[in-house]
Amino acid sequence: MLTETAYAKVNLALHVRARRADGYHELESLFAFCADGDGLSATPRDDGALTLAIEGPFADDLDAGEDNLVLRAARALQSTSGTMLGADLRLDKRLPIASGIGGGSADAAATLRLLVRLWEVRPMEIDFPAIAASLGADVPACLGSQTVFGAGIGERLETVDLDLEGTPILLVNPLIACPTGPVFKGWDGLDRGPFDPQDWRRGRNDLAAPAIALVPEVDEVLAVLRAQLPRVARMSGSGATCFALFASDAERDAAAARIEEDHPDWWGMASTLR
């Protein structure tokens, strides 16, 4: 059995520049990844079959059927590589569903990384970016799970050196699903200017306002995080998860303890950036 982590994705900033004719949106974002996330394991099968079992605190919120991104990623790699092997996959679902931290996309990317090793696929013979892009806009960034600047719908990725590795981060979610489609639909259409990844602290999340309109609790989460005096506090992706970056593990852990005591019904995860 082999294991892989589906690292939680964080949009340190997310600028929406335009709505495209195909229904997608032109974005500029700085993707970063936590050291923690969902867990994935797999054992090989000789008959080519693919199975998925889901466990963990958010297992009941996720369907293990054929449309699950883990199985879709496995089928895509199986077809592209031509392998005759299959796998019994097990997903430990630790991240909330529809929460803006790339749970499904991270799971799909982790599946590709895991099965490449399990099936001994030769990476140079596979177009992994194409497979990743076919599974979702965030999957290409999640495939490497390293800090990158993303443009377009997330498919144009550029490595940036910002020395963020090891930065303490706290994720908080009010445990209210915030579906991506309605949030994007609620964007007001105003281009508020480009994003400079080298000046990411001055960035913003243009989806925060429509997310708050749908889930007002996001505004409360942001207010609580900002009251902890972090270096930066913003919403990630289309919400409802918000994050705060701290100067030290001690400051992060103290903030996490205070928030857990005051809001025991919220979800939180203390981690560091990769």
Question: What amino acid positions are annotated as catalytic residues?
Answer: 9, 138
Give the list of residues 6+ apart from residue 211 with CB closer than 8 angstroms, or none.
100, 178, 183, 186, 218, 235, 238, 239, 240
DSSP 175: S
DSSP 31: E
The first and second tokens of residue 152, run together, are 């377009």
Furthest CA-CA distance within the chain? 55
Calculate Rg over the CA atoms of the chain. 18
Cα separation of 73 and 115, whole Å?
9
CB atoms within 10 A of CB 163: 7
